Amino acid sequence: MYLDLHTHSVSSDDSRATVEQYVKWVGVLRRRGWQIDGFVLTEHRKFDHDVDYSTLARDNDVLILKGSELDTSHGHFLVYGVTEELTDRVDFSHVGLDAVCLMRAADECGAIAVPAHPGRFGVGLYEYYDGADLSAVRVVERLNGSNRPGEQERAEELIQRHGYAGTGGSDAHLVSAIGTCMTRFDQEVSNEAELVERLKAGGFRAVRLEDTARGGDCDH
Amino acid sequence: MTSPTLYFDDIEIGDDIGPIERAVTHPQALDFIAVWTGDDRPTRFSDRDTAVSEGLAGPIVPGIMTMAFISSLLTEWAPGGKLAMLDVVFRQVVLHDVQHTLSGIVTDKADDRPEIQCDVFLQDPQGTRLIIGKAALELPAKGDL
Amino acid sequence: MTTDEDIRFDKDMLGVDHDAGVFQAARERMTAFALATSQTDPIYLDDEKGAEAGYGGIIAPPTFCNLFTGAVARPDIGLQFGDLSFHAGQAIENRSPVRPGDTLTARTRLKEVYPKTGRSGKMVFEVWETTFTNQRGETAATVRESFVHRSKTQP
């Protein structure tokens, strides 16, 4: 199945898309022949335990999961499987979180923290191999739909050097950007806990929208 | 205005808007600044040296001038339409004398009124989106919704 | 470091409305704006066409009120962060058309101040919202402006 693991709705300060509009756009993509099963909302520096998209998701046959994108000492991290225990332990609004502590806390709380757009200038992990113990990093966001020239190459270099597994996400801030990069999972994912399980176990890869045409799947 | 009226009823989510090409020449930027501030002191918008001293590659097009171009992209595409809202993010600067491409795509249609929403973009010749945003446009409707 | 530790500004300013000036929509400025931005729809330039469209004469192009924002009088919020400022974004919501001779009274308020990190390092965003009301008591437009502050040299 294909999931966009990195999207922002109007709940993020710099996004202009509503969740309902993303769902409509998923319909547009499907009518155009692309495969997309759902997306994860990774709002900047926050997590809302109460917001519930299950009806919208069910009515439109779109999986809508919730995560977060946090600002750390080692660039931005996507956090999946956020629990109340994790939000109690970590101040999501803090723009200088210790990345190593975040990864540990996430793991201890049944979540996973994954470096977002690792090749990005300024806020990608690529620039922060400064002696900190980054051995907990196993997965990074390989394909990001908002990369600028040079950033994808840095991400690839990092992945090759360290042997990381790679996800894909559009980093959509506008409706029409959703799904431009996604993650293809070999097994079904139906909730946040399963997403964490799959990301820890392997069996996924980063794809671009073009790769999702039926019969046209190819590796990156 | 020669384009025919575009009706709400005829629009579908996913429809393309534009593209149109726009390059702001240095004199055009100065004309705009005269209307905007009436101030001819050198700024990052009008003067190369000032712009360079601020770390820019050259003088830049004021953000609100680019918004006016995006507005015209929409109203030229839909004559008779009214721009209800335009909300943009200035991600990177727009330089004078460079041919930029403005485009949009319809992303939503309201259920209760003849209003569409669209994503809008201004990109440089390399395809980098320097400005992104969204807009809402009220359109004439053929009948009651 | 907490979120707010190194961002100092007058938090009492948040959400408080301030008088921000009175602006005239002069006919000459409206048409000059239209021409300077290649907006040549006759309803911006020709009274007869504007009247035919039901406006009683020409109207200003949709983003005209943006012109006033640079001259809006904003109180000093005492924000101390970085040494560079850029216009990060702007939103305009149009309500009533602006017509020649309109007097627009502006009220502005600080919406939010918040930090984030991006390609150029740590940044602080400052967001203002200004409403322009005409002499008939109608809201002509609401403009939200976002400014980003950062340091020339990042640590």
Look at residue B91 and tell me if it is in a domain: yes
Q: Which pLDDT tens digit goes with each residue over B98-126?
A: 999 999 999 999 999 999 999 999 999 99
Look at residue B56 and tell me if it is in a domain: no
Q: Which pLDDT tens digit goes with each residue over A111-133?
A: 999 999 999 999 999 999 888 89
Tokens describing residue A34: 């692309």
d(CA C132, CA C129): 10
| Residue of chain B with shortest Cα separation from C65 | B64
Look at residue B145 and tell me if it is in a domain: no
Angle in degrees, CA A42, A45, A51, rounded to 5: 55
Look at residue B90 and tell me if it is in a domain: yes
The DSSP output letter for A73 is B
| Residue of chain C with shortest Cα separation from B134 | C91
pLDDT of C152: 74
| Residue of chain A with shortest Cα separation from B116 | A21
Find the distance separating the first CA and the last CA of chain B, reported in whole Å. 27
Residues across chain B: 145
CA distances from residue A123 to A107, A128, C10, C119 in whole angstroms, order as listed: 22, 9, 29, 6
Ordered alpha helix ranges (H), chain B = 26-36, 48-53, 63-77
Provide residues of A within 8 Å CB-CB of chain B.
14, 16-17, 21, 24-25, 28, 31-32, 148-149, 173-177
pLDDT beyond 70 at A215: no
pLDDT of A142: 98
Q: Which domain holds residue B74?
A: 8-24+62-138
Residue ranges with strand state E in chain A? 2-7, 38-44, 63-72, 75-80, 112-115, 139-144, 165-169, 181-185, 204-208
Look at residue B51 and tell me if it is in a domain: no
Residue % of chain A over a pLDDT of 90: 93
Q: Which pLDDT tens digit goes with each residue over A136-190?
A: 999 999 999 999 999 999 999 999 999 999 999 999 999 999 999 999 999 999 9
Query: Domain total for chain A?
Result: 1
Q: Which domain holds residue A181?
A: 2-212
**Cβ separation of B87 and A16 shorter than 8 Å?**
yes
d(CA C101, CA C47): 14
Domain C11-25+64-150 has CATH 3.10.129.10: yes
pLDDT of C22: 97
Given a contact cutoff of 8 angstroms between Cβ atoms, the answer to whether C67 and C39 are in contact is no
CATH number, domain with residue B121 = 3.10.129.10
Query: How does pLDDT run along chain C (155 residues), one tens digit per residue?
Result: 334 556 889 999 999 999 999 999 999 999 999 999 999 999 999 999 999 999 999 999 999 999 999 898 899 999 988 888 889 999 999 999 999 999 999 999 999 999 999 988 899 999 999 999 999 999 999 999 999 999 876 54
